[in-house]
Structure 1
Amino acid sequence: MLSLVMNLKEIVSNIITKLEELDRVRDELIKTSRDVIKLSKEVINNVLKGNIEKAHEYLSRLKEIVHLIISKARNYPELYFSGFLTGVLTEYVEATVLYEIVTKSRYPTPQELSVSEVPYLLGLGDVVGELRRLVLDSLRSSDYSRAEKYFKFMEEIYENLSTIVLPDAVVPGLRPKIDNARRLLEYARSDLFLAQLRFRLSLSVEDK
């Protein structure tokens, strides 16, 4: 009986040691994740303002930190597949995809970003809101072709995300993002229609 008790004590002691290490790494990742969220916002804000060079600087720093987080978390499945890490990587995906759309008119793959499918899809859904901002900014400056360009990206993202029919347990939080993307797409469609209508009316007035 004594040997069994000692053996169990050793087992529990080993578990505690591993959990304490897990807790330490988790704290480190949470602190670092704040930098990811901050830098992601800086990338997005600078892209929206047209400060592409500045956005690129922030994005370079962002990628370094994200790769560090991923490399650490991969050794701890409890953290790698946790909700908080998914949220952090979603922010990163949103910023990176927006940057790639604006600068190169392309979508980076999950493999390029070193993220799994769930944060990629969630981040892609969030990009729609930023693209609508670009549509509105383009319309304010009467750049209708640019507005159309970003509207088509909005449309493409929504159409592809809406083909995903999976339970929330598999892709948690995706359905509300798809619903929101649909609303934003309709708003943007209306914005484009009204702007083009005003433009045509102004031309007809000038011709008279």
Structure 2
Amino acid sequence: MEESKIIDQLDAIFTEIRAYYEQMDKIREKILPLQRKTVRMCSEIIKQVHRHEHENIPSKIDQIKNHLSQMTSLISQAPGIFPKDYVQIVKQETGEAIIFYHIVVHHSLPTPKECNIELDDFAYACADVVGEIRRYILRCLREEDLTQASHLLEIMTELYNYLFTLDYPNGLIPGLRKKIDAARGILARTEADITLSLQMHRLHHDLNSA
């Protein structure tokens, strides 16, 4: 009799548990395609900036920000199930794409709120965008646009200087110090590339003026 009662209790409890996890799985299945779409669109935005194809970027930014809002809403329906960093990479990718677009095209810096991401995600995005700025600068050098290259180098330098002030334990900012160290190396190589290009440009000018 007691065994039968325990089985009935287990059956009722595990029916409830399965229903709970079924609901969580449905939420996860809704989040995954949003994650994939957002990461893909962020990559497209960065590629378009490099190609000077800016026309539909604002609409894509609106879409990815909307995707982030949807993911945040879905996660809020399952408190304690999805960790804080479940969509952190997506948010960092979003921040990187939006920051890169605004710096290169509008010569401005969007706020974390304008990117629809949190402060910590914004810091990681700033560290990641340094590499994309270097790629754009190298393109400027190939096109002999030294003015734009020098301007972007100044922005890259300021980004690194502010990132360097985030001197906190790795447990608080996991992986960020490594990204900042990488940014320092990227900055040094870019400075050397621009210095060499400026020297060659001056030499070419002097030879033509002789």
Question: What is the TM-score of this pair, normalised by structure 1?
Answer: 0.88
Q: CA RMSD in A?
A: 2.3
C-alpha deviation, 1:67, in angstroms:
2.0
Match of 2:148?
Answer: 146
After superposition, give the CA deviation of every residue in 1:51-109 in whole Å (9 maximum; x if it has no partner). 11132332232222222222222333446644341011111111111111123222222
Structure 2 counterpart of 1:90, which letter? Answer: Q
Count of residues in Structure 1 that have an aligned counterpart in Structure 2:
208
Give unpaired runs (5+ residues) of structure 2: none
Alignment equivalent of 1:184, drawn from 183, 186, 196: 186
Q: Distance in 1 between matches of 2:177 and 2:39?
A: 22
> Is the CA contact (8 Å cut-off) linking 1:70 and 1:80 kept in structure 2?
no
C-alpha deviation, 1:153, in angstroms:
1.3
Please state if 1:128 is matched with 2:134.
Answer: no
Match of 1:170?
Answer: 172
User: Rg: which structure is higher?
Assistant: 2
After superposition, give the CA deviation of every residue in 1:127-166 in whole Å (9 maximum; x if it has no partner). 1011011111111111111001111111111111111122
> Is the CA contact (8 Å cut-off) linking 2:65 and 2:116 kept in structure 1?
no
C-alpha deviation, 1:23, in angstroms:
2.4
Give the direction of change, closer, same or farther, for the CA distance of 1:77–1:193 in structure 2 (3 Å limit): farther
After superposition, give the CA deviation of every residue in 1:179-207 in whole Å (9 maximum; x if it has no partner). 11111101110011000000111112112
> Is the CA contact (8 Å cut-off) linking 1:93 and 1:119 kept in structure 2?
yes
Match of 2:197?
Answer: 195
Give unpaired runs (5+ residues) of structure 1: none
> Is the CA contact (8 Å cut-off) linking 1:44 and 1:55 kept in structure 2?
no
Partner of 1:172: helix, strand, or coil? coil
Alignment equivalent of 1:40, drawn from 39, 42, 55: 42
Once the two structures are superposed, the pairs formed by residues 56-135 of structure 1 within 5 Å of their partners are: 56-78=58-80, 81-135=83-137
Q: Distance in 2 between matches of 1:21 and 1:67?
A: 20
> Is the CA contact (8 Å cut-off) linking 1:26 and 1:79 kept in structure 2?
no
Structure 1 counterpart of 2:163, which letter? Answer: L
> Is the CA contact (8 Å cut-off) linking 2:156 and 2:187 kept in structure 1?
yes
Structure 1 counterpart of 2:52, which letter? Answer: G
Partner of 1:52: helix, strand, or coil? coil
Structure 2 counterpart of 1:148, which letter? Answer: S
34-43 or 102-111, which deviates more: 102-111
Question: What is the TM-score of this pair, normalised by structure 2?
Answer: 0.88
> Is the CA contact (8 Å cut-off) linking 2:68 and 2:116 kept in structure 1?
no
C-alpha deviation, 1:7, in angstroms:
6.5
Once the two structures are superposed, the pairs formed by residues 21-32 of structure 1 within 5 Å of their partners are: 21-32=23-34
Q: Distance in 2 between matches of 1:48 and 1:78?
A: 40
Give the direction of change, closer, same or farther, for the CA distance of 1:75–1:170 in structure 2 (3 Å limit): farther
